[in-house]
Amino acid sequence: MKLLTAQQMRELDQTTINDYGVPGIVLMENAGHGAARFIAERYQHLFPGPVLVVAGKGNNGGDGYVIARHLENWGWTVKVVVLAEHDAIQGDAAVNLNVLLNSQADVVFAADGDSFKAQSTSWCGMKLLIDAVFGNGLNSEVRGHYRQAIEWMNAYPAPVAAVDMPSGVEATSGRILGVAVAADCSLSFAFAKLGQVSYPAQRCSGELHVVDLGMPLCVTRSVSCCYCLIDAELAASLLPVRQADDHKGTFGHALVVAGSVGKVGAARMTAHAALRSGAGLVSAAIEYDLVGQLMAQTPEIMSRPMRGENGQLSVACFDALKEAWADMSAVAVGPGLGTDVTVAALVARLVAECPLPVVLDADALTVMVNQLCGLSQRSGATVITPHPGEMARLTGLSIAEVQDNRIDVAQAFARDHGVVVLLKGAHTVITDGERVWINSSGNSGMASAGMGDVLTGMIVSYLAQGLEPFCAAALAAYVHGAAADLCRQQFGGVGYLAGDVMATIPMARRLIEEECDA
């Protein structure tokens, strides 16, 4: 699903109106009618309302008036409050407001805080609120009676359907400009907006639904945007295809360089997840003394034992590692590896000399902080999978600065170092410096030990199966989250384990395939 910035959306609007001659009022009618249809369907259990439309002074409010008219026509009881004086409403919005007024619709005006406060005491028993205050025209901090109205909606005991954007959310960055509506759903016009799925606004958007505006296909197809939301359809298009006569050699051999004393589980989870994601063969490079622990529980994993130091791999293993990767298709480095100086030396030499696609995670990222120059000099592709704390260490920013600018920070690092960055978190960001894809699957139950190891195993698996690094990371992020969503359905939102997610990977893949075959 393409994601547009506010500027791109405005340009698309203008092109449609000025170059193709579709009147703005037709777009507004299509927007309002499409949104009303979705609302009537989603909230049919609340029929016939009453419903309160809270309208701003611009075209977002105009959409609200169209929605009010259609819901009224379909038997809903609708009240409209306009957060401006009547004569402040202009253009297409004014046309639709006047249609409501001419139809004796229940419309009131509350152009300041006192008026809103005085009237709002009578708006009892509303079953649904429709937020038509601000759309992609919001361009500054929300203040005054607009802020009061948003806070009132958030405190009101009824779901809120957001028209185009949850009011208060900046449509491109996803920043909350003072206060924002906490929506149950957002009806986005023509395309989803980048801000609706970006931190922190993604928690304001609720269920995202795109409303078709009837723009000419040649206009919507001409949109060249680098932002995408990874959904089941996009993930299905990335899945490695299997033929009847394929054999395990067809699907690559992944090498997992991970584990140390007390952290053999990280190596096992990474390697096992790589198998469950379809790699033909998976070998684990692990210190001699730990092989037994590794092999005991996952006989499908092969091992490449190496003599390190004190139960962890060290730079003394480099020659053995180089011999091992000669037979491999892709390498994952880092989970549970350890972070002392000899590990740092081993990782630096592997990064410098291994020609294969490599995914660097966890301890490998920690030890690379002071030797980042090696990344851009690699001959092979590199995927890094930092969580916000690791991204902060890699960039020298604070975690808050990373989280407030997730897309920009990840995109700049990817561009500067020639790598694919998968920045973990709610709505994981995947970028190669140009493309920016945002993951739509997953849930907060994933904040537990080992989830990152599983993800790393999935990435190296798709790399070994021949996916280009950006797509391998994007597909892994989606399937990983989809498996976790299945675990949430089965076990509840807290307490399912990384091993449960790993075991659910095949089912998650099957459901993605079935959903897109349907």
Site for ligand LP7C6HRI in 201-220 (CB under 6 A): 213
46/63 Cα distance (integer angstroms)? 21
For 271-335, give the secondary structure using H, E and C. HHHHHHCCCCEEEEEEEHHHHHHHHHHCCCCEEEEECCECCECCHHHHHHHHHHHCCCCEEEECC
Measured in whole angstroms, the distance separating CA 416 from the mean position of its chain's CA atoms is: 23
Task: Please provide the DSSP assignment of 97-161 as one string.
Answer: HHHHHHTT-EEEE--SHHHHHHHHTT-TT-SEEEEES-STT--S---HHHHHHHHHHHHSSS-EE
Binding site for K ion (CB under 5 A): 131, 162-163, 167
Q: Binding site for (6S)-NADPHX, residues? A: 59-63, 135-141, 146, 164, 266, 336, 387, 453
| Residue among 126, 162, 137, 136 nearest 35 (CA) | 162
Count of residues near ligand LP7C6HRI by CB under 6 A: 28
Residue 9 binds which entry of ligand LP7C6HRI, K ion, none, CB below 5-8 Å type-dependent: ligand LP7C6HRI
Nearer residue to K ion within complex by CB, 185 or 460: 185
Nearer residue to ligand LP7C6HRI within complex by CB, 138 or 354: 138
CB of 181 to K ion, least distance (A): 7
Q: Choose one: 140-148, 271-279, 284-292, 494-502; the region binding ligand LP7C6HRI (CB under 6 A).
A: 140-148
56 sits near ligand LP7C6HRI (criterion: CB under 6 A): yes
User: In the block, which residue shows the tokens 């490998």?
Assistant: 364
Site for ligand LP7C6HRI in 223-252 (CB under 6 A): none
Residue 167 binds which entry of ligand LP7C6HRI, K ion, none, CB below 5-8 Å type-dependent: K ion
Residue 466, φ and ψ in degrees, nearest 5? 100, 5
| Candidate list 3, 22, 27, 39; residue touching ligand LP7C6HRI; CB under 6 A | 27
Nearer residue to ligand LP7C6HRI within complex by CB, 5 or 465: 5
Residue 33's identity, in one-letter code, is H
Nearest-5° Cα angle at 279, 278 to 283: 140
Nearer residue to ligand LP7C6HRI within complex by CB, 37 or 435: 37
| Residue among 395, 419, 28, 368 nearest 211 (CA) | 28
Q: What six digits make up the tokens of 8?
A: 């791109």
Q: Binding site for K(+), residues? A: 60, 131, 167
166 sits near ligand LP7C6HRI (criterion: CB under 6 A): no
Q: Choose one: 55-63, 149-157, 387-395, 399-407; the region binding ligand LP7C6HRI (CB under 6 A).
A: 55-63
Residue 43 binds which entry of K ion, ligand LP7C6HRI, none, CB below 5-8 Å type-dependent: none
139 sits near ligand LP7C6HRI (criterion: CB under 6 A): yes
Q: Binding site, residues? A: 59-63, 131, 135-141, 146, 164, 167, 266, 336, 387, 424-428, 452-453
164 sits near ligand LP7C6HRI (criterion: CB under 6 A): yes
Residue 314 binds which entry of K ion, ligand LP7C6HRI, none, CB below 5-8 Å type-dependent: none
Output the CA–CA distances (angstroms, integers) from residue 475 to 33, 186, 238, 404, in the order listed. Answer: 35, 25, 6, 25
51/105 Cα distance (integer angstroms)? 13
34/176 Cα distance (integer angstroms)? 26
62 sits near ligand LP7C6HRI (criterion: CB under 6 A): yes
Residue 334's identity, in one-letter code, is G
Which SS3 state, helix, strand or coil, does residue 183 take?
Answer: coil
| Candidate list 2, 3, 13, 273; residue touching ligand LP7C6HRI; CB under 6 A | 13
Give contact residues for ligand LP7C6HRI (rule: CB under 6 A): 9, 13, 27-28, 31, 56-63, 134-142, 146, 163-164, 189-190, 213
